[in-house]
Chain A
Amino acid sequence: MAGKVKDEILHDHNHDGIDRRGFLKCMAWAGTGAFCVMQGGVLKSYSLSRIPELNAKEAMGELSFVQISDSHMGFNKPANPDVAGTLKAAVDKINGLSATPEFMLHTGDISHLSKPEEFDTVDQILKNAKPKDVFYVPGEHDVLNDDGKQFLERYGKGSKGGGWYSFDKKGVHFVGLVNVMNLKAGGLGTLGHEQLEWLEDDVKHLKHSTPIVVFAHIPLWSVYPEWGWGTEDSAQALAYLKKFGSVTVLNGHIHQTMQKVEGNVTFHTAASTAFPQPAPGKADSPGPMKVPAEQLKSVLGITDVNYVQGQHALAVVDSTLA
């Protein structure tokens, strides 16, 4: 019982739904498997091992979807010589979730080198997932050599400009953004003027109470600009979303889970299904991190997201493939 009380955060000093100490605690768990959920405006965090203790109502929302990221199909270096195998393990994990997700989001770097056969392999593996719909945004590895032409032909039907789009599911408004095109020397990820204008228009007529989920490859917050882990003009995009009571931003790119809460916006990055990358600044470069083979699946993962109507924010759950 004492343990149970210890892991729940029940203080809300600023009446913004965020307990600072609790949030830091949640951050500390990120990467080892944490479950952070906002309930009634209060952030609660649980270690993954305690998930079975949660009752089904808490664990299963009215809308459930899953995020996968950074499959890097075609990568064959020592950090993971079998990225197809770990993507299959991710699909098994998804198929084993207690509530079958309605759809999947893939936040980019589907392929390693934008080769047609790499995309084909991912498509084949994902066909075995119980959720049949997959919504994609490109990573920089998906738009090599052809400015994203192939990506758009495969995954961009109905999208605008460089592949951005939005859709609604059970009252939640989803926005897929592209921040890996036309990158400038010395810079970070970029959304660009045309996309920002589209976003402003896309959300203009939505009610402030509409929960918003934004997904894009490169983080839309400044994780570590020294390694390019951020987006130049994300502040402008977030300004258009300020009026909404609940905004969840889902990204990939950095191959590790990380979470940050700023006002009504929860930022979250997903693990890769292929290989881990070092924590910001903890290595000479953000290149693939080699871990002992038996530990690999504990640093790869999927992200499961649940939304219960009437509750303030979405519950974001990271699970490793181990």
Chain B
Amino acid sequence: MAGLAAALVLGTLGLGTGQKSYIASAQEKMPMMEVKIDNFTFGPAALTVPVGTTVTWINKDDIPHTVVSTDDSKTFKSKVLDTDEKFSFTFSKAGTYPYFCSIHPKMTGKVIVQ
């Protein structure tokens, strides 16, 4: 985050070609995080990420699972994920996003986007 802030400051001040290169490098370094589904648990169960992060869930169980946000509008909802299948969602707004496996509702997790 510190680096990002520094780049923004440089960009605002219009020092050299800082702004342009910052955008390019930001795209290359789009934050990515992984949540592993293993033994009927989301790991980590609570994940904190910066805005713009793409979170990928991967199912390592022998049993299918889903990743479904618990809000009424179902901000994100995966298809059923069989073993080794993945689901990704990019969090573009800050907030707390609780989710669960709609097949095994005891499995819950949350993504905190800052």
Per-position contact with B for A239-271: 1 when CB-CB < 8 Å, else 0? 000000000000000000000000000000000
Residue of A nearest to B68 (CB): A185
Do B39 and A186 have beta carbons less than 8 Å apart?
Answer: no
B62 touches A228 (CB 8 A): no
Instruction: Tell me, yes or no, whether A112 is within 8 Å of chain B by CB.
Output: yes
- A285 touches B (CB below 8 Å): yes
Interface string of B85-106 (1 = CB under 8 A from A): 0000000000000111011111
**How many of B's residues come within 8 Å of A, CB to CB?**
22
Q: Which of A113, A145, A228 contacts B104 (CB 8 A)?
A: A228
Chain B residues with CB below 8 A from A227, complex form: 40, 106
Inter-subunit contact A141/B98 (CB<8 Å): no
Q: Which residues of A contact B98 (CB under 8 A)?
A: 185
Q: Could you tell me if A188 and B105 are in contact, using CB atoms closer than 8 angstroms?
A: yes
Does B80 reach chain A (CB closer than 8 Å)?
Answer: yes
Q: Is the CB of B41 within 8 A of A285?
A: yes
Query: Which residues in B have their C-beta under 8 angstroms from that of A188?
Result: 105-106
B 19-43 binary contact with A (CB < 8 Å = 1; else 0): 0000000000000000000011100
A144, B81: Cα distance in complex, Å? 10
* A 119-156 to B, binary, CB cutoff 8 A, 1 in contact else 0: 00000000000000000000011001100000000000
Given contacts A77-B62, A287-B40, A288-B62, contact A113 B82 (CB under 8 A): yes
Closest to B102 in A: A183
The distance in angstroms between the C-alpha atoms of A114 and B63, with both chains bound, is: 13
User: In the complex, A215→B64 CA distance in Å?
Assistant: 24
Residues 92-115 of chain A: 1 if any B CB is under 8 Å from the residue's CB, otherwise 0? 000000000000000000001110
Q: Answer whether residue A226 sits at the interface, using C-beta atoms and an 8 A cutoff.
A: yes
Quote the shortest CB–CB distance from A71 to chain B (angstroms).
15
Contact A145 B106 (CB under 8 A): no
A140, A186, A187, A285: which contacts B103 (Cβ < 8 A)?
A140
Known: A186-B106, A228-B104, A228-B106. A286 touches B40 (CB 8 A): yes
Chain A nearest CB, measured from B64 CB (Å) = 6
Q: Are B62 and A141 in contact (CB under 8 A)?
A: no
B62 in contact with A186 (CB, 8 Å) = no
Q: Does A205 contact B (CB under 8 A)?
A: no
Chain B residues lying within 8 Å of A228, measured Cβ to Cβ, are 104-106
Let me know if A285 and B82 touch, CB within 8 A. no
What chain B residues lie within 8 Å of A226 (beta carbons)? 106
B91 CB, nearest partner CB in chain A, Å: 18
Q: Give the distance in Å from the alpha carbon of A267 to the alpha carbon of B59 in the complex.
A: 33
Q: B105 touching A184 by the CB < 8 A rule?
A: yes
Are B108 and A186 in contact (CB-based, < 8 A)?
A: yes
Given the interface pairs A77-B83, A114-B80, the reply to whether A186 lies near B40 with Cβ below 8 Å is: no
Alpha-carbon separation in the docked complex, A49 to B63 (Å): 34
**Complex Cα distance A140/B70, Å?**
18
Chain A contacts for B62, CB-based, 8 A: 77-79, 287-288
Complex-state Cα separation, A113 to B85, whole angstroms: 13
Across-interface contacts of A114 in B (CB, < 8 A): 80
Query: CB-CB < 8 A to A77: which residues of B?
Result: 62, 83
- Within the complex, the shortest CB–CB distance from B50 to chain A, in Å, comes to 25
Quick one: given A186-B106, A285-B39, A286-B40, are A145 and B79 in contact (CB under 8 Å)?
yes
Interchain CA distance A41-B2 in the complex, whole Å? 76
Q: Per-residue 0/1 for A174-211: is the Cβ within 8 Å of any B Cβ (1 yes, 0 no)?
A: 00000000011111100000000000000000000000
Report the Cα distance A188→B103, complex, angstroms.
10
Given contacts A183-B105, A186-B108, 19 further A-B contacts (CB under 8 A): A77-B62, A113-B80, A140-B104, A144-B64, A144-B103, A145-B80, A183-B102, A185-B99, A185-B105, A186-B106, A225-B106, A227-B106, A228-B104, A285-B61, A287-B39, A287-B40, A287-B61, A288-B62, A288-B63
Residues on A facing B (Cβ under 8 Å): 77-79, 112-114, 140-141, 144-145, 183-188, 225-228, 284-288
The list of the 6 closest CB pairs from A to B, nearest first, reads A185-B100, A285-B40, A285-B39, A183-B105, A228-B106, A77-B62
